Amino acid sequence: MKKILVVRNDRLGDLMLILPALRIIKTSIPGITIDCLANKNYQELKNLTPYIDNIITDDELNIKIFEEKYECSISFFSTFSVAYRLCKGGIKKRYAPSTKLAQIFYNKKIKQRRSESIKSEYEYNNDLAFFFLNDNGYATEMSSNPLVAIENNKSIHSKGKKIIFIHPYTGGSSKTLSENDFLKLCHSLQEFCDCKFILHCDHNDYEKCRNIERQSNSLDMETIKPTNNLKKMFSNIMQCDLFIAGSTGPLHVAAAMNKKTVGFYPFKKSSTAKRWETMNSDNLKLFFTDTGEGDSNLTINIPKTAEVIFKKLLS
């Protein structure tokens, strides 16, 4: 097998969470080319990971299926429309979880019941990769090589302080802490060690982050300039000693670099920390779950959370 098509054409965090599965495939089938149908905003990812060779956008899909004549596709996620086009395009082996109506267009399916959150999302993705390899007679080979290849461009001057990135907003995909609670957490962490706090966000949330910065009082805090350039964003995140956020794409970017991470998650079965945990090493990650005391934001025990973060990730 020389080439396959994989599908994950939604959010950045979801796309990052298929990288361990693609690493398994690349390691198990040396020389294979992996084309990935992804959101058009993430085309540069092929230059940032060794596990994606080409990014295909939705408007290119029909042409690429015709030109490349893929024998196999693996849909970690796809819409009904994409599933239909893969089938109509004549791809012989079409792998996917057997969920939702789109499954009628796949002929190689595995039951996963992801919404039950028994495993993490990246583990479910790995299981789909194992199923694909076994079905095609390949022995599974594992690797611990980095998921992301990027230089650490040190443009943030911390004067020996811990560089802590705070991503306060989630783009609407999940609840997170309030602005005030993020500030309280920063002040609590500052009591344990000297920190330089970098507020990280997209363009839509830049002014809100600047407002947090203006309220930071004695904290060493600044807002990093937002960018739509993936390489620049990855390079920025690479500089942190710790990345703190709700369940959002940049948190999974940090984890793909095996940075230290802290994630905040709602108390909801389909959105639990277990389902959406980060893929970095176990000793490098912490998660905290909503106590359920708030409505629009998550609530946690701020002083206790800061103490745990310091002892396990910053001391």
What gap in Å lies between CA 148 and CA 18, rounded to an integer? 12
What gap in Å lies between CA 73 and CA 303, rounded to an integer? 48
User: Which pLDDT score, from 0 to 100, does residue 185 have?
Assistant: 98
What average pLDDT score do residues 279-304 get? 91
- Whether residue 11 contacts residue 172, with contact meaning beta carbons closer than 8 Å, is answered with no
* The CATH number of domain 3-135 is 3.40.50.2000: yes
What gap in Å lies between CA 162 and CA 262, rounded to an integer? 15
pLDDT band at residue 143 using 50, 70 and 90 as cut-offs: very high
Residue 156 has pLDDT above 80, yes or no: yes
What gap in Å lies between CA 189 and CA 27, rounded to an integer? 40
User: Which pLDDT score, from 0 to 100, does residue 163 have?
Assistant: 97
Residue 294 has pLDDT above 80, yes or no: no
User: Which pLDDT score, from 0 to 100, does residue 196 have?
Assistant: 98
Domain coordinates of the chain in residue numbers?
Answer: 3-135, 162-314
User: Which pLDDT score, from 0 to 100, does residue 173 have?
Assistant: 60
**Is 3-135's fold the same as 162-314's?**
yes
What gap in Å lies between CA 185 and CA 306, rounded to an integer? 6
Q: Please, where are the H alpha helices in the chain? A: 12-16, 19-28, 61-68, 80-88, 121-135, 179-190, 206-214, 230-238, 249-256, 273-276, 302-309
User: Which pLDDT score, from 0 to 100, does residue 170 have?
Assistant: 87
Closest CA to 243 of 202, 275, 198: 198
CATH topology of domain 162-314: Rossmann fold (3.40.50)
pLDDT band at residue 21 using 50, 70 and 90 as cut-offs: very high
What average pLDDT score do residues 96-124 get? 91
Mean pLDDT across the chain? 94
What average pLDDT score do residues 282-311 get? 92
Sheet holding 72-77, edge to edge: 54-56, 33-37, 3-8, 72-77, 93-97, 108-110
User: Which pLDDT score, from 0 to 100, does residue 276 have?
Assistant: 93
Q: Summarize pLDDT for 163-203 with one digit per residue, the tens.
A: 999 999 987 667 899 999 999 999 999 999 999 999 999 99
User: Which pLDDT score, from 0 to 100, does residue 172 have?
Assistant: 61
- Whether residue 79 contacts residue 99, with contact meaning beta carbons closer than 8 Å, is answered with no
- Kindly report whether the global pTM for this prediction surpasses the value 0.85: yes
Q: Could you tell me the sign of the dihedral formed by the alpha carbons of 108, 127, 259, 178, in that order? A: positive
Q: Summarize pLDDT for 239-263 with one digit per residue, the tens.
A: 999 999 998 999 999 999 999 999 9
What gap in Å lies between CA 89 and CA 48, rounded to an integer? 29
Closest CA to 308 of 278, 264, 266: 264
User: Which pLDDT score, from 0 to 100, does residue 22 have?
Assistant: 98
Q: Summarize pLDDT for 194-237 with one digit per residue, the tens.
A: 999 999 999 999 999 999 999 999 999 999 999 999 999 999 99
User: Which pLDDT score, from 0 to 100, does residue 216 have?
Assistant: 96
Distances (CA, A) of 149 to 32, 194, 289: 19, 29, 31
